[in-house]
Amino acid sequence: MMKASNDVDGAAGKLFGLSSRSFGVERKARSAPGSPAFDPELLDAFRKALDELTPDSPPLDFEKINAKTKPATKASPPPPPESAGRVVVYLTSLRGIRQTYEDCWSMSAVLRSYGVRVDERDLSMHAGFKDELRAALTEGGRLPLLLQVFVDGRHLGGAEEVRRLHEAGELAAALEACESAPVPKGCAGAQDSCSGCGGVRFVPCDACSGSCKVFMEDEDEDGTGVFRRCLKCNENGLV
């Protein structure tokens, strides 16, 4: 019986490449009774597997993971539109949450103090900015807290990250890839701001005067006319 056990051990060594010196420790004594090595069901299953092997059976080989079988890395979200070479700041002008409002405008002022071009996108003025931010950060998930800053298309972080970089003197290096801001009006080489909006990006819709509704006379059967949603402006009556 001892010889049969030794034969099984020898076959196991040839099958799995193990020996009595596996893991650098010489086996001097058999395992204590009750250990997994003495499980009758395990030994029977192992002997059965050995009996089924023929001399012509190919050696067992472990699957190797190479560069071709590795899972592809997840693509990063696209940067916000028109964000190359500038600082894009997503913020809000609503004062409902005081801390959020103060963070938005204080950090925007800090960024402007570095003389770079800052593109402020107010989510309370246009719902399209929410979609941009959601696509750039969460891929359709929940919007993060405001403010959020992108530098040359790369996400820099929120108010805490901007404040930390500014206090550590590292914000200037992070803004090196951004364009310089236009020279204020009245200075040498000054550039005039937009004559239509004055640099605030939006103006009231001239079709509905900001009401988001227009009167359509030809669409009513009675000839009295009906009000329709204006298709030229956003949800706030701005264009």
**Ramachandran quadrant class, 134 (left: phi over 0; alpha: psi -120 to 50; beta: rest):** alpha
The answer to whether 214 and 151 have CB atoms below 8 angstroms apart is no
What distance in Å separates the CA atoms of residue 179 and residue 152, rounded to the nearest whole number?
9
* Confidence check: pLDDT of 214 > 80: yes
3-state secondary structure of 155: strand
For residue 56, what pLDDT band results from cuts at 50, 70 and 90? low
What distance in Å separates the CA atoms of residue 102 and residue 189, rounded to the nearest whole number?
33
Please, what is the average pLDDT of the chain?
Answer: 75
Tell me the pTM: 0.61
pLDDT, tens digit (0-9, with 9 covering 90-100), for 130-187: 999 988 887 656 778 899 999 999 999 999 999 999 999 999 999 998 988 876 655 5
Mean pLDDT of 91-109: 92
Count CB-CB contacts under 10 A for residue 52: 8
pLDDT at residue number 38: 58
CATH architecture classification, 87-174: 3-Layer(aba) Sandwich (3.40)
**What distance separates the 2 farthest-apart alpha carbons in the chain?**
107
pLDDT at residue number 141: 65
Provide the residue ranges of all domains of the chain, joining segments of one domain with +. 2-52, 87-174, 202-239
What distance in Å separates the CA atoms of residue 216 and residue 109, rounded to the nearest whole number?
45
Structure tokens at 143: 């919007």
Q: Residue 8: in which H helix or E strand, if any?
A: helix 2-16
* Confidence check: pLDDT of 62 > 60: no
Structure tokens at 179: 């364009």
Amino acid at 152: D
What distance in Å separates the CA atoms of residue 217 and residue 223, rounded to the nearest whole number?
6
